[in-house]
Amino acid sequence: MQKVMLQNKKRLLFFLCIFTFMIIGLIGRIAYLQIFKGDYLKLLADELHMRERDIQPKRGTIYDRNGVPLAESASVATISVIHNQIDDPEEVARILSEKLDMDYDTVLEKVNRNLALERIKTGVDIEIANAIRAENLSGVMIDEDYKRYYPFSNMASQVLGFVGKDNQGIIGLEVKYDKYLYGIKGKILTETDARGIEIENTADKRIDPIPGNELYISIDVIIQQYAEQLLEKVLDQKEATRGTLIVMNPQNGEIYALANKPDFDLNEPFTINDPELEAIWSGLTNEQQFDYLNKMWRNFAINDTYEPGSTFKIVTASSAIEEGVVALDDTFSCPGFRIVADRRIRCHKAGGHGTQTFIEGVQNSCNPVFMDLGERLGPETFYDYMVGFGFNEKTGIDVPGEAVGIMHDVKNVGPVELATTSFGQSFQITPMQLLRAGAAIVNGGELITPHFGTAIATPEGEVVKVLEYPTEDSPISEATSKTMTNILESVVAEGTGRRTYLPGYKIGGKTATSEKLPRSSNKYISSFLGFAPADNPQVMALLLVDEPVGIYYGGTVAAPVVKELFENILPYLGIEPKYTATELEMDGVGDYVVPSLVNKEVKDIKKMLQDDKVTLEILGEGDIIIEQFPLPGEKINKDSKIIVYVQ
């Protein structure tokens, strides 16, 4: 009996110990969950009973160098539905389809989707959103949103870029500076029951969004608009396929204008700009459509490479001067060709230039002269200079998708490759790479970084970041730079660039006529690289006209366009003309103070400007002037043009 009682006591003690350990474990578990995991479990509970909706931040504005908005965000709304909270799906679909101008079946399908939150439409005008709100539809959410728009539509389209439906950048500056422009999303938290239905008499919790910062860029709207007008005019006149015109400060790399044609409407970036493609658009596959859109969005000046032709001769000449293999008074013979290895390589002048000095060879853009310079330099040294000018690397410009030059492997450079490279053939670079090298050749020998972005500021206008860009030494000295600047000025005064001569200004530059591959296609790129004033370069421009019809020489097609650009933007930039005594005696030379023409009749202004011997260009239809360029009070050359807009 005692043995049985002892066994029972042991059994009871055993179970008591187990029970005690379970109580201690339970208390420990509760303590762990309450103390160590309490915050985490509370968060999970909140997430279970809280429905979260994003509030889009206002994207920062992009301004030009003078504070003119180029990309802005306007208040709109996003319409969404919560399936579990809808009482009458058919009625909700009917009202939303009518208000939003959408197909009823499409809306009904979205309304019936059993999702936590289904978006019906974004970018809805505030007036329409308010009308939907007035219907007081259960389960319909109306949230604040922003829509990006571009006041100048097509202007600098490949540079500025655009945003997607989520207001994030897709191409151009919009994507490059997205982390500054986008901002931080806010949230609306709604308390719900286990079925996801909103609990009545509970207030939503709101976390306000933080708007994005503003971006200031170096583009000048006035210069950009004028560059685009000139580019479009020359492309129309020459029936060319495309073109680009870049205007840059060669001292610091700030880009005042970059125009590409064809372009596209930034407010409708998925609308193709080719009428022939538009006619067959619906029959193309998604892949084909996207391929054509990518081509339309490409920035020719940065994303594509080409053979530069004779504009590259400034690199060959600079390298030869720096290396000491040529003197300014060295003489060369040009019979119209050079025999290199087993090849007869001709000069652009079939009969040849005869005997000429080095400077005259540059003025005449004589191929044999530059082939001789290339031979004197040798492939290894010439290659080192090309690398030194940055043709084997990206320029570092602050837009995505930049291409890099396609150069020969120096091990494979024979006499023919060396000869053709010396005058700008058999390799490819981007227009921006050429512009960067050209800037180094005239600014004292410094390789700058071309760029658009200058500063980041808060929405209140406080600058929080000044954007800075690296510079490095080029392979030429300041003395060589000065010599080349003088030679290139003589190209305009006496050589192939004389159609860019502008009284009162010292203009330097180099023309080019690049024959495209295959050579048998007889297609060309006409170009001109110019800068002013030659004694202190403040502005440099590069124009490319791709596949002009008829006359295709760079000196005839491109040079006059850059002259027209300079004669209008140099006074605008505050660069005053300095006339020689001979120039002052020329017709149309001298200053002219632009009068105020707005709100005046065209017929009266025509007569007044005709008497003053000033050219007038009229844009639009109508009798009354509503806008003018240049602005009243600005000084221009008498042979400059005044542009007016009428209605």
Asked if 398 contacts 173 with a C-beta cutoff of 8 angstroms, the reply is yes
Mean pLDDT in residue range 27-48: 60
| pLDDT of 414 | 95
Using DSSP bridges, classify how beta strands 331-334 and 453-457 pair: parallel, antiparallel or unpaired. unpaired
Q: How far apart are CA 40 and CA 379, in angstroms?
A: 68
The mean pLDDT of 367-395, rounded to a whole number, is 97
Sign of CA dihedral 425, 427, 429, 434: negative
The residue with tokens 């989707």 is 113
pLDDT value of position 317: 98
| pLDDT (average), residues 395-407 | 96
Kindly state the tokens that stand for 480: 């060589």
Cβ 512 vs Cβ 311: under 8 Å: yes
CB count within 10 Å of CB 342 equals 7
Placement of tokens 């023309």 in the chain: 511
Q: In whole angstroms, what is the distance from residue 595 CA to residue 324 CA?
A: 53
Task: Please state the φ and ψ torsions of residue 8, each to the nearest 5 degrees.
Answer: -65, -40
In which region does residue 341 sit, left (phi positive, over 0), alpha (psi from -120 to 50) or beta (all else)? left
- Supply the pLDDT for residue 27: 76
Q: What is the pLDDT of residue 256?
A: 98
| pLDDT value of position 551 | 93
How big is the chain, counted in residues? Answer: 647
Q: Which of 133-137, 330-334, 417-421, 441-445 has the lowest mean pLDDT?
A: 133-137
Give the model's pLDDT for residue 26. 76
- Span 82-109, mean pLDDT? 92
> In percent, how much of the chain has pLDDT > 70?
91
pLDDT of residue 54: 81
**What kind of fold does domain 303-497 have according to CATH?**
Beta-lactamase (3.40.710)
Per DSSP, the residues of 74-134 read EEEEEEEE-GGG-S-HHHHHHHHHHHHT--HHHHHHHHTS--S-EEEEEEE-HHHHHHHHH
Q: Given a cut of 90, is residue 646 above it in pLDDT?
A: no
| Residue range 52-217, CATH number | 3.90.1310.10
Mapping DSSP to helix (H, G, I), strand (E, B) and coil, where does residue 64 land?
Answer: coil
Q: Which residues contact 247 (CB under 8 A, 6 or more apart)?
A: 223, 227, 255, 256, 257, 258, 539, 540, 541, 565, 569
Beta-bridge partners for 465? 456
The whole-number pLDDT of residue 615 equals 82
Question: DSSP string spanning 337-368?
Answer: EEEETTEEEE-SSTT--EEEEHHHHHHHT-HH
Residue 592: pLDDT band with limits 50, 70, 90: confident
Position 83 pLDDT exceeds 50:
yes
pLDDT bucket at 47, cuts 50 / 70 / 90: very low
- Longest CA–CA span in the chain (Å) reads 142
Q: What is the mean pLDDT of residues 448-466?
A: 97
Higher pLDDT pick, 73 / 605: 73
What confidence score (pLDDT) does residue 134 get?
94
- Tokens (6 digits) for 80: 């969404």
Here the tokens at position 78 are 């996003």
The predicted structure's pLDDT at residue 38? 61
Q: Is the Cα torsion angle 359, 362, 364, 367 positive or negative in sign?
A: positive
Catalytic, 521? Answer no
What span, in angstroms and rounded, lies between the C-alpha atoms of 489 and 436? 19
Where are the alpha helices (H) located in 239-305, listed in sequence order? 275-280, 286-297, 300-303
Amino acid at 630: P
Please report, for residues 235, 260, 458, 489, the alpha-carbon distance to residue 220 in angstroms, rounded to integers and kept in the order given. Answer: 22, 15, 21, 26
Query: 98 pLDDT exceeds 90?
Result: yes
Across 179-188, 213-222, 386-395, 506-515, least confident range: 179-188
Answer whether residue 20 shows pLDDT above 50: yes
CA atoms of 485 and 337, how far apart (whole Å) = 28
Does 196 have pLDDT greater than 80? no
Check residue 8 and give its pLDDT.
67
| Identity of the amino acid at 54 | D
**Residue 515 · residue 547 · CB < 8 Å:** no
Torsion of CA 41, 43, 47, 48, to 10 degrees: 20
On average, the pLDDT of the chain sits at: 90
Q: How confident is the model at residue 204 (pLDDT cuts 50, 70, 90)?
A: low
Q: What band does 33 get if pLDDT is binned at 50, 70 and 90?
A: low
Residue whose C-alpha is closest to residue 509's, from 617, 320, 365, 629: 365
CB atoms within 10 A of CB 205: 13
Q: How far apart are CA 647 and CA 625, in angstroms?
A: 7
The whole-number average pLDDT for the span 379-399 is: 97
**Amino acid 144: pLDDT:** 86
- The pLDDT, as a whole number, for residue 50 is 56
pLDDT tens, position by position, 479-500: 999 999 999 999 999 888 888 9
pLDDT reported for residue 559: 95
- From the options 3.30.10.20, 3.30.1180.20, 3.90.79.10, 3.40.309.10, give the CATH code of 591-647: 3.30.10.20
The span from the first CA to the last CA of the chain, in angstroms, equals 122
**Position 48 pLDDT exceeds 50:** no
Task: Pick the catalytic residue from 157, 310, 319, 426.
Answer: 310
CA 9-13-15 angle, 5° bins: 120
DSSP, residue by residue, 544-601:
EEES-SS---HHHHTHHHHHHHHHHHHHHTT------HHHHTSTT-SEEEPPP-TTSB
Local structure of residue 411 (DSSP, 8 states): G
The pair of three-digit structure tokens given for residue 222, joined into one six-digit string: 């006035």
Kindly list the distances between the CA atom of residue 426 and the CA atoms of 306, 365, 383, 421, 516, in Å, as whole numbers in the listed order. 10, 18, 14, 6, 10
As a whole number, mean pLDDT of residues 114-132 equals 90
Q: What are the pLDDT digits (tens) for 528-558?
A: 999 999 999 999 999 999 999 999 999 999 9
Quote the tokens at residue 203. Answer: 């207030």
**What pLDDT is recorded for position 90?**
94
Average of pLDDT values for 576-586?
78
Secondary element (H or E) of residue 22: helix 2-31
CA angle 560/172/446 to nearest 5° reads 60
